Amino acid sequence: MDATGSPETTPMIRLSGVGKRYADGTVAVHDLDLEVGRGETLVLVGPSGCGKSTTLKMINRLIEPTTGTIEIDGRDVTGVDPVQLRRGIGYVIQQVGLFPHQKVVDNVMTVPVLVGTSRSQARSRAEELLAMVGLEPDVHGPRYPHQLSGGQRQRVGVARALAADPPLLLMDEPFGAVDPVVRVRLQEEFRELAQRLGTTVVMVTHDIDEAVRMGDRVAVFAEGGRLAQVGTPLDLLARPADDAVARFVGSETGLRRLSVVPLRREDLEPLDGVTGGQLGAAIDLDSTLEDALAAMLREDRAMIGVRDGVAFVGVLTPAGVHRALRAALAE
Ligand SMILES: Nc1ncnc2c1ncn2[C@@H]1O[C@H](COP(=O)(O)OP(=O)(O)OP(=O)(O)O)[C@@H](O)[C@H]1O
């Protein structure tokens, strides 16, 4: 049993036979079975109009399914008052809906203050989260939402959702308007924070790179609201279930795999005889192969030092990258 009294094995979300047919006859989602584990990040991807947003909105009952059941924490959501239900679920959408007459920092503080956190505590947490999403608390905090760019407003939306510390967070294209460079950093920081807080996240995107970077698992939807495949990023890239998934994950799969395969100690060469000059900069053992190759290119060296905390544990060469990649694919 966990702290909530639910067995650890109960998934956070369970969709069974869920379907949605809109009043005009459009079938947006077809017979969907899907589970999301506690603390897991599940990313929904797929072409436009394949039912991703509809699925997300059925989880917090902004849309009611026409068939099937949805359970959160083992409870059928149809038995829960929708307002009550949404109070426990964070929701971030592309058009964030910030309060226009409140300063940015006050927007982020709203929920914590509502639930009784002291203003000073809520403010310092809000400032921390603003910094986390790449905004300057002193510069952007005192502004009003209309004084920010679209991408900056989106980041405030993400900070506001995280401030409420919901056990479950639903996000629909949360980084859609954020420029590519900031976006990658934000994805990484968000992922780290969600892992640290143990937040369960279901996120919609149509950016496959974002999906493989952020998801513990990725669900690929196909036309007609059908689930084509669900699996780890590496499953999808290495073993697409059908041609539609293969097309969707694209021709760059080899390169994408690098971004989802972690370094392993056994792929490192010993440090013996390597001088500091040959080594250049070092990367952390929890980096991906993509990070490792990027560092080699940046340093213009054919090997890179690898650290575990403060200790150097070996060097990685392109041959080691190759071994790690082959091992991951063979698993
Ligand atoms: N209120 C509605 N009435 C009728 N059809 C709808 C309604 N809302 C959505 N649809 C249709 O349902 C299908 C799924 O829409 P949904 O928004 O879930 O797709 P999506 O995968 O999130 O798309 P996108 O990536 O473009 O946001 C689409 O064909 C859409 O036109």
Q: Tokens standing for 74?
A: 């083992």
Q: Give domain status of residue 105, yes or no.
A: no
End-of-domain residue from the set 258, 291, 318: 258
Name residues contacting ligand 1 (CB within 6 A).
22, 24, 26, 28, 46, 48-54, 206
Shortest-distance Cα residue to atom 28 of ligand 1: 49
pLDDT in tens, 22-71: 999 999 999 999 999 999 999 999 988 999 999 999 999 999 999 999 99
191 and 52 assigned to the same domain: yes
pLDDT of residue 93: 83
pLDDT of residue 276: 66
pLDDT in tens, 279-319: 667 889 988 888 888 888 888 877 888 988 888 888 888 88
181 and 320 assigned to the same domain: no
Residue 181 has pLDDT above 60, yes or no: yes
306 and 205 assigned to the same domain: no
Average pLDDT over residues 106-112: 90
Residues 240, 78: contact at Cβ < 8 Å?
no
Residue 114 phi/psi, 5-degree rounding, is -60, -35
Q: Give domain status of residue 237, yes or no.
A: yes
**Residue 225 CA, closest ligand 1 atom number:** 14
Residue 186 has pLDDT above 90, yes or no: no
Residues 291, 324: contact at Cβ < 8 Å?
no
Average pLDDT over residues 62-91: 90
| Distance between Cα 21 and ligand 1 center (Å) | 10
SS3 213: helix
Neighbours of 78 (CB within 10 A): 13
pLDDT in tens, 222-245: 988 899 999 988 888 878 888 888
Q: Tokens standing for 40?
A: 């897991």
Q: Which of 26, 59, 227 to mutate to test the pocket of ligand 1 (most atoms within 8 A of CB)?
A: 26
% of the chain beyond a pLDDT of 90: 38
**Residue 44 CA, closest ligand 1 atom number:** 21
End-of-domain residue from the set 202, 226, 258: 258
Shortest-distance Cα residue to atom 17 of ligand 1: 53
**Residue 20 CA, closest ligand 1 atom number:** 12
Average pLDDT over residues 151-168: 89
Residue with tokens 């979300």: 13
Average pLDDT over residues 272-279: 69
Alpha helices in 90-206 (DSSP H): 104-114, 119-132, 137-140, 150-163, 180-197
| Distance between Cα 52 and ligand 1 center (Å) | 8
End-of-domain residue from the set 258, 280, 310: 258
Shortest-distance Cα residue to atom 29 of ligand 1: 49
Average pLDDT over residues 131-143: 92
pLDDT of residue 253: 64
Contacts of 196 (CB under 8 A, 6+ apart): none
CATH number for the domain spanning 297: value is 3.90.1280.20
CATH number for the domain spanning 192: value is 3.40.50.300
Binned at pLDDT 50, 70 and 90, residue 149 comes out as confident
**Is the pLDDT higher at 281 or at 104?**
104
Distance CA 289, CA 299 (A): 15
Binned at pLDDT 50, 70 and 90, residue 2 comes out as very low
Residue 226, beta-bridge partner list:
222
Mean pLDDT estimate for the chain: 86
Q: Which of 21, 27, 53, 62 to mutate to test the pocket of ligand 1 (most atoms within 8 A of CB)?
A: 53
SS3 13: strand
| Distance between Cα 206 and ligand 1 center (Å) | 14
Q: Give domain status of residue 242, yes or no.
A: yes
Average pLDDT over residues 126-142: 92
Q: Give domain status of residue 136, yes or no.
A: no
272 and 233 assigned to the same domain: no
| Distance between Cα 225 and ligand 1 center (Å) | 9
172 and 208 assigned to the same domain: yes
Shortest-distance Cα residue to atom 6 of ligand 1: 22
Residues 90, 169: contact at Cβ < 8 Å?
yes
Q: Tokens standing for 29?
A: 């989602």
What is the domain range of residue 196? 13-88+166-258
Chain-centroid distance, C-alpha 234 = 15
pLDDT of residue 1: 45
**Is the pLDDT higher at 37 or at 213?**
37
| Distance between Cα 204 and ligand 1 center (Å) | 13
Q: Which of 18, 44, 50 to mutate to test the pocket of ligand 1 (most atoms within 8 A of CB)?
A: 50
For the chain, the domain total comes to 2
| Distance between Cα 17 and ligand 1 center (Å) | 19
